[in-house]
């Protein structure tokens, strides 16, 4: 196994060098990001447009939990440096985003576990 | 790109796929719970793989932050009552917004604000602006729902122009930031403006419209997360934020449609609050006698009915009467009565609020009928039991063009053979409007706390 994997690792640093030399194009990067953003918006509209009224509250709570994805950004900011302003800002950001994520998913789960059909419900 | 960076990107793609599938599964009651768990898994995957980013040095702060946040969020989620769900969602949303502007600010400080591309500067500004508005706006919504801030719309002259000026000012500041790189003060000013804007935008909106506001703010927090993604060039953030942003927006539009009001009317129309009986709109001439009914009379009425529909409203939530109402339904079903629940889209503080409460009381969800599905059946219904719902059953919305709620789609309960309204007193409901249903000849008032009244009904039914 190792003799397949090692060359890959050795090659990857070459790949890094080459793309450095070519120069990563920030405009192209931005355009790709915008493209992806646009598509994601359409996906969001399509997926959510068909929700029964019953599920509107859990959905609001669940999508709120997903918006806690900011946590990923907070981790990056908090972790990049040692105990200076950005790190502390990042720390608070991590706390806030984690509250959003953990609280949001748990509260949504509490709401959803109660949805039972007539035959499986306990009477 | 190194192999590690490639792997991270690939795992991000997996996380995105899981988010979309999870969200899709949340649109059906049978798969909703697993959909939520899938989304949570996606979140976990995204977070774990980010920690492999070789740029992360400071694990102590991260672990400390996650532990603190996890404890706070977990404890809050476990202890909150179902009736306070809307407030909780507002609060969680608010802290999410705070996180976004902190990420924006943090990135600015980390890079020193120099050598940044135009798009990064703009998105730092936007994530601060949107995150700030989301934060204070959500706190305002929380306050209005909890009654800490008045539920009346608060207006002052030139309010909308002021908000417009502040908003334009912040855009100008973001634009100005493109020239002066290096001074964080500009972005702190943008933060200040956005925090103030969040308060000012929610202030003139009545407490009754908070569900729409929360849904809109939920959308904003998604967009803020997406902007943060543009700042640090992270596709997981960009896509997930956009998903939440568009989901929240559609939900908001659906809610406004259910109230038959446009979004602009909700945001700028200063609707609702204790405007008093004056807003009833030309009721001077009608006969205002009401008929009362006792638990025993009601027991007889319902036990011998063929079809009964229960209409829950916010009063049910306040009185925590969902279990008592299910007991009534059980006894009636035992006597061969067809019992169903009619749920108005904006009953309660949030859409679907009633459904969650009734599910908590073990009411099977196939007995819950949407307004469109149950409205045609009221003519064939013998008794409608209205528990703490008010404006959503007010015929004025259908018949009286002078009424502030005219045009709002309602449950046509007045078409049934008899309606029973459970209320604590004759005080007006959330929109402060007198309900003509109370004075109709086939309506009966059943005064008292909803839970007590229903429990009395249960005892009376056992005697019939």
Report the pLDDT value the prediction gives residue A7, as an integer from 0 to 100: 55
The reported pLDDT for the residue numbered B72 is 95
Per CB-CB distance under 8 Å, the chain A contacts of B3 are: 8-9, 12
Domain-by-domain residue ranges, chain A? Answer: 19-112
A and B: number of Cβ contacts within 8 A: 416
Q: Do A102 and B73 touch (CB under 8 A)?
A: yes
Q: Which of residues 26-85 of A touch B (CB under 8 A)?
A: 26, 29-30, 33, 36-37, 40-45, 47-85
pLDDT of residue A120: 42
Residue B411's nearest CA partner among B442, B371, B355, B368 is B371
Q: How far lies B428's CA from each of B17, B63, B159, B235, in Å?
A: 48, 51, 28, 50
Q: What is the DSSP string of B77-115?
A: HHH--GGGHHHHHHHHHHHHHHHHHHHHHHHHHHHTT-S
pLDDT tens, B142-174?
988 887 877 667 777 777 788 888 888 888 888
Convert the pLDDT of each residue in B101-118 to its tens digit.
Answer: 998 888 888 887 777 777
B153 min Cα distance to partner chain A (Å): 24
The token duo for B68 is 């603190």
Overall size of chain B counted in residues: 464
Count, residues in chain A: 123
Residue B281 — very low, low, confident or very high, per pLDDT cuts 50/70/90? very low
- The secondary structure element, H or E, covering residue B157 is none
Tell me the pLDDT band of B278, cut-offs 50, 70 and 90: very low
Burial B207-235 (b: 16+ CB within 10 A, else e): bbbbbbbbbbbbbbbbbbbbbbbbbbbbb
Q: How far is residue B296's CA from residue B138's CA, in Å, rounded to a whole number?
A: 46
Contacts of B373 (CB under 8 A, 6+ apart): none
pLDDT at residue B62 tops 50: yes
Is the model's pLDDT at A19 over the cut of 90?
no
Q: Sorting pLDDT into bands at 50, 70 and 90, what band is B277? A: very low
Chain B CB within 8 Å of residue A7 CB: no
Across B202-211, average pLDDT = 80
List B342's β-bridge partners, or say none: B369
The predicted pLDDT at position A121 comes to: 38
Q: Which member of B35, B43, B248 has the closest CB to residue A69?
A: B43
Task: Give the per-residue pLDDT at B458.
Answer: 93
Rounded distance between C-alpha atoms, residue B3 and residue B270, angstroms: 56
Q: How far is CA B23 from CA A58, A105, B17, B413, in A?
A: 11, 12, 10, 35
Which has the higher per-residue pLDDT, B231 or B156?
B231
Distances (CA, A) of B285 to A42, B278, B281, B380, B436: 52, 14, 11, 30, 12
Distance CA B46, CA B148 (A): 37
**pLDDT reading at B456 higher than 60:** yes
- Radius of gyration, CA atoms only, chain B: 25
Per-residue pLDDT band for B90 (boundaries 50, 70, 90) equals very high
Region of B336 on the Ramachandran plot (φ > 0 left; ψ -120 to 50 alpha; else beta):
left
Considering chain B, what is the average pLDDT of its residues? 85
Nearest to B82, CA basis, from B349, B350, B357:
B357
Residue range B41-53: mean pLDDT, rounded:
88
| Residue B365 DSSP code | G
Under DSSP, the state recorded for B148 is S
What integer pLDDT is reported at residue A119 of this predicted model? 44
Beta-strand pair B338-343/B383-387: unpaired
B397-447 pLDDT, tens digit each: 888 888 877 778 889 999 999 999 998 887 766 566 788 898 888 899 999
Question: What phi and psi values does residue B384 have, to the nearest 5 degrees?
Answer: -110, 125
Dump pLDDT digits (tens) for B352-395: 788 888 888 889 888 999 888 999 999 999 999 999 888 889 89
Chain B residues within 8 A of A93 when measuring between CB atoms: 65, 98-99, 102-103, 106
Note the pLDDT tens digit of each residue in B286-337.
567 788 888 888 888 888 889 999 999 988 888 889 999 999 999 999 999 9
A44/B287: higher pLDDT: A44
Q: What percent of chain B has pLDDT over 70?
A: 92
Residue B273 confidence (pLDDT) above 50: no
Nearest to B339 by CA among B325, B350, B351, B353: B325
Is position B338 annotated as part of the catalytic site? no
- Token digits for B223? 């967009």
Tokens read off for B139:
């706190």
Name which residue leads in pLDDT, B256 or A8: B256
pLDDT exceeds cutoff 70 at B221: yes
ipTM above 0.85, yes or no: no
Cα–Cα distance, A76 to A61 (Å, whole number): 25
Query: In terms of CA atoms, which chain B residue is nearest residue A17?
Result: B1
Which residue has better confidence, B119 or B126?
B126
pLDDT bin (cut points 50, 70, 90) of residue A122 is very low
Is the Cα torsion angle B347, B352, B353, B358 positive or negative in sign?
positive
């Amino acid at each position: 196994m190792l003799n397949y994997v090692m060359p890959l690792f050795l090659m990857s640093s070459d790949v890094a060098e080459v793309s450095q030399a070519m120069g990563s194009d920030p405009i192209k990067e931005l355009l790709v990001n915008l493209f992806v953003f646009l598509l994601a918006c359409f996906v969001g509209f399509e997926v959510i447009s068909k929700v029964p009224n019953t599920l509107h509250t859990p959905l609001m709570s669940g999508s709120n939990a997903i918006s806690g994805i900011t946590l990923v950004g907070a981790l990056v900011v908090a972790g990049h440096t040692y105990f200076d302003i950005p790190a502390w800002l990042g720390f608070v950001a991590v706390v806030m985003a984690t509250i959003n994520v953990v609280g949001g998913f748990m509260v949504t789960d509490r709401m959803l576990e109660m949805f039972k059909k007539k035959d499986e419900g306990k009477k | 790109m190194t192999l590690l960076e490639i792997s991270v990107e690939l795992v991000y793609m997996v996380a995105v796929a899981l988010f979309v599938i999870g969200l899709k599964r949340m649109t059906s009651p049978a798969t909703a719970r697993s959909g939520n768990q899938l989304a949570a898994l996606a979140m976990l995957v995204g977070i774990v793989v980010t920690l492999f980013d070789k740029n992360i040095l400071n694990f102590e702060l991260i672990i400390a932050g996650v532990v603190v946040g996890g404890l706070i969020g977990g404890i809050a989620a476990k202890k909150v009552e179902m009736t306070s769900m809307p407030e909780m969602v507002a609060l969680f949303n608010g802290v999410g917004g705070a996180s976004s502007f902190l990420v924006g600010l943090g990135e600015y400080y980390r890079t020193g604000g120099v050598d940044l591309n135009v798009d990064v500067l703009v998105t730092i500004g936007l994530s601060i602006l949107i995150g700030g508005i989301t934060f204070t706006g959500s706190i305002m919504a929380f306050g209005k729902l909890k009654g800490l801030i008045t539920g009346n719309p608060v207006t002052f002259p030139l309010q909308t122009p002021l908000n417009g000026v502040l908003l334009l000012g912040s855009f100008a500041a973001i634009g100005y930031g493109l020239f002066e790189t290096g001074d964080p003060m500009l972005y702190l000013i943008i933060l200040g403006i956005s925090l103030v804007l969040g308060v000012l935008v929610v202030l003139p909106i009545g407490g009754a419209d908070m569900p729409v506001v929360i849904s809109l703010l939920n959308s904003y927090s998604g967009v803020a997360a997406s902007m943060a993604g543009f700042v640090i060039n992270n596709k997981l953030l960009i896509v997930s934020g956009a998903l939440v942003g568009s989901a929240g927006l559609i939900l908001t539009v659906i809610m406004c449609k259910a109230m038959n009001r446009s979004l602009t009317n909700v945001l700028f129309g200063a609707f609702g609050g204790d405007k008093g009986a004056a807003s009833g709109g030309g009721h001077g001439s009608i006969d205002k006698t009401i008929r009362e009914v006792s638990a025993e009379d009601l027991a007889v009425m319902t036990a011998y009915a063929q079809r009964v529909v229960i209409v829950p409203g916010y009063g049910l939530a306040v009185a925590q009467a969902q279990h008592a109402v299910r007991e009534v339904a059980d006894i009636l079903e035992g006597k061969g009565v067809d019992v169903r629940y009619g749920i108005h889209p904006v009953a309660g503080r949030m859409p679907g609020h009633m459904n969650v409460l009734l599910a908590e009381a073990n009411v099977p969800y196939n007995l819950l009928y949407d307004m469109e599905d149950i409205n045609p059946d009221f003519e064939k219904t013998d008794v409608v039991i209205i528990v703490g719902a008010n404006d959503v059953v007010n015929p004025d919305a259908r018949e009286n063009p002078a009424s502030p709620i005219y045009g709002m789609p309602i449950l046509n309960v007045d078409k049934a053979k008899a309606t029973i309204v459970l209320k604590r007193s004759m005080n007006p409901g959330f929109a402060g409007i007198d309900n003509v249903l109370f004075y109709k000849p086939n309506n009966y008032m059943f005064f008292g706390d909803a839970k007590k009244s229903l429990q009395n009904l249960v005892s009376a039914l056992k005697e019939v």
